Amino acid sequence: MRRPRSLRAQLTFFFAGAVLGTTLLYGALVTVVLAASEFFQHAENPSLGLHEGIFDEALQALGAIVFSMPIVVVGSIVVGGALARRALAPLRDARDRVRAARASELDLSLPDRGTGDEWDTLAATLNELLSDARASLARIQSFTSDAAHELRTPLTIIMGETEVCLRRERTPEEYRRTLSIVLDETRQLSVLVDALLQLARADAGTQVITQEPVELHALARQSLQRTEQLLAARSRSLTLELTGAPTQARGDPVLLTHVLENLLSNACRYARERIRVELDSTPTGVLITVADDGKGVDAAFEARLFQRFARATPSRQGEGTGLGLAVSRTIAQAHGGTLDYARVDGESRFTLRLPRPEASAGPPPLAGHASADRTTA
């Protein structure tokens, strides 16, 4: 199998071929011009033929060209090789940097000579890609570390409780208590694994795979009904309000329901007396606001509110995995929207913004008037 030529060899042969071809073309033109000139001179003055041949000068020029061809070939190869080596210097520099870089940290950047040529354009593009890869690697490392820590804690509790319980015979009440602890920690693990799976899918860019018309008012009402049932099971009383007209968006109804239930679960955790869900439509998109009358997020924690595994209180004794708001914002972004927090008029407001569906993407929004549903659970 024929071995392909290196880039340097290709550039050298290209340069040598260009020089040789140009020389031959120039020599052929010179020979033709000299031959034609001598032919017309002899045609006008035949006596010239007595002293010299009709094509003497043309033959001399042709001989000089043929004699110089080896020199031209060797010279063009030498000069072409030197120019190719100089042109490929940035590639050698990049090769050396890649060899010295550590794959575990991607501490690599390609040289930018500041000339604005094709190499600088390629280097800038690859440097942007490497920067994104470094940021992605840092996120993965942080995510893996946090996930391992969060998974280890409930597993340690389960193993510890089980080992202590098995050391001797226990009463039925003691077995029941141990199994209750194991069940609670297993549920916590299940919720955590589900959240981690959703984040992993979102990071892989496969979170949103369906885009269909979604009626947000009906979605919010169903989520509030489930919240009422949850509050009733916990013997807790809160006033739940739903305001706004039927509003349509495009997205995955299962994932959008997950966002609403995350926000309502968070509101239930901190609300004192009331939770309010408001739907609004703007020229650029649709808004869903979930507000509660709790004390709000501490100012020092607000910057980390949507970070993964971030909790207002470091202790794991409270509810939640520290992933609910991070998952919700990731789902919002996967739909082309946003999820933000603000403290307004004594309320903690989480606002989900979704892009307005295109007119041709589906049927028009359902006709309806602004309404207010209020229940107390």
Question: CB count, 10 Å around CB of 55?
Answer: 17
What pLDDT does residue 51 have? 57
What pLDDT does residue 316 have? 43
Which range (145-149, 178-182, 264-268, 325-329) has the least confidence? 145-149
When pLDDT is cut at 50, 70 and 90, the band that residue 296 belongs to is confident
* For residues 17-28, average pLDDT: 87
What pLDDT does residue 362 have? 45
What pLDDT does residue 204 have? 62
Q: How does pLDDT run across 205-214, given as a tens digit for each residue?
A: 555 556 788 9
d(CA 128, CA 125): 5
Q: How does pLDDT run across 232-277, given as a tens digit for each residue?
A: 888 888 899 999 888 888 888 878 888 898 899 889 988 999 999 9
pLDDT, greater one: 364 or 273: 273
Q: Is the pLDDT of residue 18 over 50?
A: yes
DSSP secondary structure letters along 225-284: HHHHHHHHHTT---EEEEEE---EEEE-HHHHHHHHHHHHHHHHHH-SSEEEEEEEE-SS
When pLDDT is cut at 50, 70 and 90, the band that residue 370 belongs to is very low
What pTM did the predictor assign?
0.56
3-class DSSP state of 285: strand
First to last CA, the chain: 79
Q: Is the pLDDT of residue 220 over 60?
A: yes
